[in-house]
Amino acid sequence: MAYVFTHATVLDGTGGMAPLPNMTVVVDDAGCIDKVGPASSTVPPAGAEEIDLAGAYLMPGLINAHVHLCGSGKPLSAGGAGRLIDGVVGNPVGRWALRRVLRSHAQQQLASGVTTVRSVGDPGFADVEVRDAINAGAFPGPRLLASGVGVTVPGGHGAGLFAHVAGTPEQAREIVRTCFAHACDHVKLFITGGVFDAEVEGEPGVLRMPPDIARAAVDEAHKLGMRTAAHIESAEGVRVGLEAGVDTIEHGAELDDELIALFKRNGAGRASSLTCTVSPALPFVKLSPEKTKSTEVQKVNGRIVYEGIVRAAQQALEAGIPVGLGTDSSCPYITHYDMWREVVYFERIVGASRQTALHVATLGNARILGLGDETGSIEPGKSADLIVLDCNPLENLEALRDVRMVMVRGALDRYPRVKRLSQLDAELDGFLPKAQA
C-alpha cells in the first residue's frame, strides 16, 4: 500500500541534519521512499493513504548494531543463562520455544523504533530462522542481520551460550563455513573474555583467542563474502582483532596511536569500525552486584570495561574512525526497547552532539553494516524505514523513548506497543544522565 506523510518535520538522518518543516514524504506500494519535498509542491500519487503528521517529527528508524535476542534483560548469571540455553537448544520443543522468544524480542525492538537489528550471537542459529520467517512475511519484524553462533575458543567468552569452540585455525574455518551454510549474514568472533568470565580483579578482557585462530576465522569469512565482528574488551584484544582484519570491533578499550593507525588502514578500501556499547557496562558501575547477579570482582571489572568503552568511542570520534551504536540487549538490565538509552549515553557520557548521535544511530550504523544504500536516511529510493515522534530529538534525545508510529519496509504500525519491565526501567531511570543545556 502507498502512503503519503504530509506536514511532517523531517530529520533525514544525514550528518548535517536539521529539522525540515512542512514536508511531504511519499512511500510507494513496494515499501520504498518515492518522493521527499515541500508540502506545497510535492504531489502525492492517486490512491495513497494520507497521514497528516501536523508538524510531528519523521525520521529514519533506529539501527541497533549489537543485539543478542535470546534474553530479556532480566538479570541472570552467566551460569544460569548457560543452563537455560542447554535445556532448550537440544530438543524440538525447546527450539520452538527459543524461536518464539527471539521473535518476541525482535518485535519489541521494532515497536520501540528500531527498524534494523544486527544479532551478534544467538543459540542454535535460531536468529537465522527468525530472520527468514520475517523476510517471508510470516510475521512482522525489523530487518534482521543474523550471525547465528559465534566463534570462540575453549574456555572463551560465549562458549556454551551462543558460540562454537575452535581449538585450531582449521576448526575456526569450519565454524565459519557452517555459518555460511546456514546463510548467516556475518560472523561473530569472541576474541577476549568479558566481565562475567574474568578471573582476576582488574583484568577483564583477557585475550582468549590466539591470533592464528582469529586470522583464520576472518580470512575464511572474507573469502565467503561475509563481514566479521569481534567481542573485544582490552587493548591487546583490539590489536589482535585489527591485525586479523576484523570489520567491527565490538565494545573496545582505550586506544593508542598504533591502534588508531590500525583502525584506519584495516580492511579492503575502508577502515574498521568501533561499535560503542555503553548500555551493558553502566549497570555494573551504578548498581550493586546483587542486582546485576554478579560479584564484587565483576563490579570492579565492569567499571574498567565501562571506562574503556567510553574512552575508545571518544578517541575514535576524534580520529575520524567510524563509530556505530548497539545496546548488547540481553545483558543484565539491557532490554529490547532501550536503544534510545544508548543514543542518550552517546551524547551525555561519550560527548557526541545530538546531531551526531542521531546520525550514528541511523545512517552511520547503516553504512557500517553495509546497508547505507538501502536504509538509514530519508531519501528517494531508500527503504521506508521510518519512525514518528511527537517531540524534537535534537532538543532532547529522550524524545526517542516514545515512538508514535513505526514503519519498516513500508509496513506501518500505527500504534506500536512495548511491553516494558517497570522495575528495570525504574533502576535505569535512576542513573540516566541529565540533559545538557
Among 132, 157, 142, CA closest to 112:
142
* Per-position b or e across 415-437, b if 16+ CB within 10 A of its CB: ebebeebeebbebbeeeeeeeee
CA 66 to chain centre: 3
How confident is the model over 211-257, as pLDDT tens digits? Answer: 999 999 999 999 999 999 999 999 999 999 999 999 999 999 999 99
Query: Which range has the worst mean pLDDT, 48-52, 142-146, 289-293, 317-321?
Result: 289-293
- Predicted confidence (pLDDT) at residue 134 exceeds the cutoff of 80: yes
Q: What is the pLDDT of residues 363-386, one digit of tens each?
A: 999 999 999 999 999 999 999 999
| pLDDT, greater one: 290 or 4 | 4
User: What span, in angstroms and rounded, lies between the C-alpha atoms of 163 and 175?
Assistant: 9
- Output phi, psi for 385, to 5 deg: -110, 100
Domains of the chain: 3-61+375-422 (2.30.40.10), 62-369 (3.20.20.140)
More confident of the two residues 270 and 6: 6
pLDDT at site 265: 84
Sheet of strand 114-119: strand arrangement: 62-67, 114-119, 143-145
pLDDT at 77 over 80: no
8-12, 104-108, 169-173, 284-288: least confident range: 284-288
**Alpha-carbon dihedral 133, 139, 145, 150, rounded to 10 degrees:** -60
pLDDT at 339: 98
Nearest CA to 387 out of 366, 401, 373, 370 is that of 401
Q: Which long-range contacts (CB under 8 A, 24 or more apart) does 21-25 make?
A: 21/55, 22/55, 23/58, 25/58, 25/378, 25/386
pLDDT at 92: 80
Confidence of residue 268 (pLDDT cuts 50, 70, 90): very low
Q: What are phi and psi of 115, to 5 degrees?
A: -100, -10
More confident residue, 84 or 118: 118
Grid cell listed for 52: 497528516
Statement: residue 419 has pLDDT above 80: yes
Give the residue-averaged pLDDT of 167-183.
98
Of 56-60, 194-198, 320-324, the range with the lowest mean pLDDT is 194-198
For the CA atoms of 215, 248, 278, 289, the dihedral, rounded to the nearest 10 degrees, stands at -20
338/428 Cα distance (integer angstroms):
10
For the cut 60, the answer to whether the pLDDT of residue 335 exceeds it is yes
Residue 164 confidence (pLDDT) above 70: yes
Q: Which amino acid is at 412?
A: L
In this predicted structure, what is the pLDDT of residue 160?
Answer: 81
